[in-house]
Amino acid sequence: MHEPEEDSGSDTADRYEYQYQVAARHCCDFDRGELEWVLCEWHTDYILSFGDGRYVLVSVKHRELNQGLWTINRLCDDGGLKTLCTRWRECRTPYQTRLATNGALDREAKNLAKACAAGDRKALQEFARDFHVKLGCQNIDEALQFLLSLRIEAELPPRRYIRAENIESYVRPMLARSRDRRTESWQVYDAVVDVVRQAARAADNNRPRTWTISRFDALDSNVLLEENVQRRLIDGARVAGRIEAIPRSGVALLQADSDPGTAVETRLSKKLRHGGIGETGIQSARRTRSSWATFEAQYSSPLPHEGDLIDDLKTRVLHEAAMAEAESFTESATYGRKMLAILSNKLTPEGIGAAPGIPLDRLHLLGLAYQLTDECKVWWSPEFDVDSDGEVDV
């Protein structure tokens, strides 16, 4: 059992996986309404179809760091621009062609990418004159028309980081738009990539094989072609169905205090003690607040002003805390214990009207109340100077 001298198979598999992950980005945008479908491994790595009849042929090229910058000559050869131009011609000059790569461009290639993005005919005319032979074009005008359709996307993350980047930049915003808080973003991403993988391999086991279709025209070439296309095609319904099949998470587990041995007294402990709550209650509050911090990190919206669940819960919990304070408030004595008893009964997901289907425990809500205590938005006694007797761990 020794290491093989040649292991290109794993590298090839990684490059295919990279291609699937690049295509998966688009599958997170079906809910936006513009993209109609993605067709995998058909003429190019995949084709995008938009609602107004536009089609985009996409070629994906991963480039290792030690391979250097893309030059235009390399783009035509190793980068596949010549092949992409051929596919553009075969597909009757679709609206757009696109080369997606993680490799950096040299100065001349950057100028080409900028000219393509801007539709600069004058600059592209010069590139067409210089490189029409490398592109496999019959003449300069044909090369110019191809370059006018071309877009070069050269800022993709490498294989090592694309999963994390896609989850943060595509999956979490998609879940925020749908307000789906019941599934983990990484599970959704892996499910979407698997949809792309199955489509690219044309091996969807949920559909009958072409050669077993029991219809009178089963061997007709058009029927075979349609079946092949359908296995490779991804639309919003296919992605949504796969996501829906992901088991929904139950109630989130509560977390232990991340630093239970701290000797520094926090604002939280000072305010609870001043309100008449003892050491056991303070220790419980620290752990419960830690559980809320974990929940908050997981369910905070990645997009501003996008129906943020966390802001909604803060508003609801703060309101209940104000009602509990009003019911238990006294000017001359601490009222923390009575307020805690009232608040503990009120802070349930159903009681505050939290959105259904979220793995939220009532102790998370109490932990949020303790977090608001540390932020000096909730008090358990008449207000006092919490920083007056020493340094506070904020």
- Mean pLDDT, rounded, for 276-295: 85
Chain segment 230-246, per-residue pLDDT in tens: 889 999 999 999 998 88
Pairing of β 233-235 and β 35-42: antiparallel
> What pLDDT shows up at residue 261?
46
Compare 4 and 376 and report the one with higher pLDDT.
Answer: 376
CB atoms within 10 A of CB 14: 12
> What pLDDT shows up at residue 4?
43
d(CA 35, CA 100): 18
> 140-149, 248-257, 321-330: lowest mean pLDDT where?
248-257
Which residues partner with 40 through β-bridges?
A: 46
Which residues partner with 49 through β-bridges?
A: 37, 55
> 121-135, 187-201, 209-223, 347-361: lowest mean pLDDT where?
209-223
- Mean pLDDT, rounded, for 138-153: 95
With CA atoms as reference, report the closest residue to 160 among 102, 81, 84: 102
From residue 379, give the alpha-carbon distance in Å to each of 276, 329, 372, 384. Answer: 12, 10, 9, 9
> What pLDDT shows up at residue 152?
96
> What pLDDT shows up at residue 135?
94
Query: Mean pLDDT in the chain?
Result: 82
Query: Cα-Cα-Cα-Cα dihedral of 170, 175, 161, 300, to 10°?
Result: 120
Question: 335: phi > 0 → left, psi -120 to 50 → alpha, else beta; which?
Answer: alpha
Compare 304 and 330 and report the one with higher pLDDT.
Answer: 330
> What pLDDT shows up at residue 164?
92
